[in-house]
Amino acid sequence: MIKFEIKNSEDYNKNYSAAIQNPEEFWATIAKKNFTWKRPWSKVLDWDFSIPKVSWFEGAQLNITENCIDRHLETKGDKTAILFEPNNPNEPSEAITYNELHKRVNQFANVLNSKGIQKGDRVCIYLPMIPELAISVLACARIGAIHSVVFAGFSATALSTRINDCDCKMVITSDGGYRGAKTIDLKSIVDTALLDCDGIESVLVAKRIHSDIPMVSGRDFWLQPLLDTASEKCEATVMDAEDPLFILYTSGSTGQPKGMVHTTAGYMVYTAYTFKNIFQYEPNDVYWCTADIGWITGHSYIVYGPLLNGATTLMFEGVPSYPDYGRFWSIVEKHKVTQFYTAPTAIRALAKEGLEVVTPYDLSSLKILGTVGEPINEEAWHWYNDHIGKNKCPIVDTWWQTETGGIMISPIPNSFEGKPAFATLPFMGIQPALMDENGVELEGNSVEGRLCIKFPWPSMARTIWGNHQRYKETYFSAYDQKYFTGDGALRDENGHYRITGRVDDVIIVSGHNLGTAPIEDAINEHPNVAESAIVGYPHDIKGSALYGFVTLKNSDISNDSLKAEINQLISKQIGPIAKLDKIQFTSGLPKTRSGKIMRRILRKIASKDTSNLGDISTLLNPEVVETIMKNSL
Ligand code: WTA
């Protein structure tokens, strides 16, 4: 009765209830039948959210790369595993077969070994979207090194913070990268970052832009010559089910980014199973997820999920606007893409360019469309459905998080219908709960509250690297025995979920999670800044944009160049993605009597929604609200 492939509503209903009624039997059946294990587990699940502790498939041994690559070689060795589409449309694309991928991952793993990387060591990967990125991720997993991929748009400071937080021994980077018309000099960012990192023993440098860059003798090594002489065979290291597979940093509402730790077996089983069913992958399909591997979407649904299923996964180096706004659709036509998975911000940006950049392309290969990263507004959903899917492709609006490892709530095509702006129903084994402000679970339909998950699932993050206490406080303290997501959601009259957005101080800008605290810290470094508060406000393309309220030490010099300096500081500390769209200088910020900044009021002012500011009489300085409103941008 328990099925790996979910083909219709009966399958969904039966599997969902099996996974709820007997989770251990359910996941054991899925795991046993569909993967290669070196040793079976002794216990399927052990958990207690009050510690919190979660382990899946304890006692089992495996290597995820054997499941992603080796086991497909016999039947799919010549099938394309990774289809690389370069930034420049005139450069040829590259089809890497499973046989070639096997060879390249093994060679890379041997290079890692030769540089002293061992099981459990942390390796930072800071690469553009080139095949070496996916290959280096897999090479780490081959030898049990823990990869920590840092999105190549992050600044040197953000990079060094992440390298130091988990004591990486090695950085893998490139001489640079192409993004649209721009060339990005990655290696010099690494060099700057490493001035603050003592633990790095070696830097492997892939060639992409063929620029003449300085190499530090004894530390920096060109990758290709090492690969050329490396053996094509590398025995996969035997991993325990709960050995860490990777660390991936995500923003929190306070403090430094959190290094979410994902482990091996549960992550493997869940990402493979969700990929297969949510995208209804069939053997000859060409699947394309436009995310960057620097984010969880790329980890789970460009690399691991697709390869575990023996799929062809497309990797695109460039941006949707280069050489023009038709690029995504020209790639869909060129490679006959069947599943296309992107973010609402990209859909809105492309919709704005009009149909002239869509209609020239043949999109008839498409079968399923996906979206992820933030709530999709109904207008964008309809545009996607009408003009890209031509009303024949189910849209999977997939809700999940870096912390959840895999998709949690999403339509499953052919099982039940999607609904604009609704992530719809939970995936197998996922038990959502909506909580009211008193911490009581809201029963029944037509309710709205804070979204929690009340039972473990295989791919959940197990801890925050080096700070289990923070993991407990952030996710397991707000509600007893429940994982708190940080999102609000409603359940409609049919039990379908709509995610309403973050309920904490995380702001999602163009699909990127940004915590307000690190941005404020960056601004406050300016010698003329006294204090600052960042809030989000609705933006047509980005979903949310950033609005900074800044008080100055010397308000005589509140001019545009000061605004530019503030944004430069943010770019340097975090990256250009965190730059502010609006900066308002103000004489004070609204505060409670205990000195806490009332962001709720600032959010309303930034959103031009000032009809009901609530009770401001209890503020320490209610008069400042009027002034801020008067001068708002
Ligand atoms: C938001 C991305 C509404 C949500 C995989 C979540 C969404 C955060 C959706 C995680 C969706 C993601 N509908 N909101 N389909 N998908 N989110 O860690 O607020 O980068 O908590 O993981 O994005 O972002 P993250």
Q: Which of 395, 268, 276, 384 is nearest to 329 (CA)?
A: 384
DSSP codes, 183-218: EE-HHHHHHHHHTT-S---EEEEE-SS-------TT
Task: For ligand 1, say whether the CB of 402 is within 6 Å of any of its atoms.
Answer: yes
Task: Output the pLDDT for position 554.
Answer: 82
Task: Output the pLDDT for position 618.
Answer: 76
Tokens read off for 539: 């933006």
CA 177 to CA 304: how far, in whole Å?
23
- Between the CA of 326 and the centroid of ligand 1 the distance, in Å, is 26
> 294 and 184 in contact (C-beta within 8 Å)?
no
Contacts of 90 (CB under 8 A, 6+ apart): none
Residue located via tokens 């041994």? 61
Atom of ligand 1 nearest to the CA of 402: 18
Radius of gyration of the chain (CA): 24
CA 633 to CA 623: how far, in whole Å?
19
CA 556 to CA 549: how far, in whole Å?
16
- What is the residue extent of each domain of the chain? 507-630
Q: 543-552 and 529-539 as β-strands: parallel, antiparallel, unpaired?
A: antiparallel
DSSP state of 72: G
Substitution candidate for ligand 1 out of 274, 404, 410, 508 with most atoms within 8 A of CB = 508
> 209 and 176 in contact (C-beta within 8 Å)?
yes
Contacts of 49 (CB under 8 A, 6+ apart): 456, 476, 481, 482, 483
Residues of the chain with pLDDT under 70: 558
Give CA separation, 423 vs 357, 408, 410, 418, 495, in Å.
Answer: 28, 9, 5, 8, 11
Task: For ligand 1, say whether the CB of 329 is within 6 Å of any of its atoms.
Answer: no
Q: Closest residue (by CA) to atom 14 of ligand 1? A: 374
CA 219 to CA 214: how far, in whole Å?
11
Per CATH, the number for 507-630 is: 3.30.300.30
Q: Which of 522, 501, 520, 448 is nearest to 607 (CA)?
A: 501
CA 140 to CA 365: how far, in whole Å?
35
- Between the CA of 418 and the centroid of ligand 1 the distance, in Å, is 17
Task: Output the pLDDT for position 367.
Answer: 98
DSSP element (H, E) containing 361: none
Atom of ligand 1 nearest to the CA of 506: 19
| Whether residue 257 has a cis bond before it, omega within 30° of 0 | no
Atom of ligand 1 nearest to the CA of 250: 18
Task: Output the pLDDT for position 558.
Answer: 66
Q: Closest residue (by CA) to atom 1 of ligand 1? A: 374
> 37 and 61 in contact (C-beta within 8 Å)?
yes
Contacts of 494 (CB under 8 A, 6+ apart): 445
> 522 and 570 in contact (C-beta within 8 Å)?
yes
CA 572 to CA 588: how far, in whole Å?
26
Task: For ligand 1, say whether the CB of 513 is within 6 Å of any of its atoms.
Answer: yes
- Between the CA of 349 and the centroid of ligand 1 the distance, in Å, is 18
CA 616 to CA 198: how far, in whole Å?
49
Q: Residue type at 202?
A: S
CA 44 to CA 33: how far, in whole Å?
14
DSSP element (H, E) containing 57: strand 53-58
- Between the CA of 459 and the centroid of ligand 1 the distance, in Å, is 16
The total number of residues written for the chain in this structure: 633
- Between the CA of 510 and the centroid of ligand 1 the distance, in Å, is 11
Task: For ligand 1, say whether the CB of 397 is within 6 Å of any of its atoms.
Answer: yes
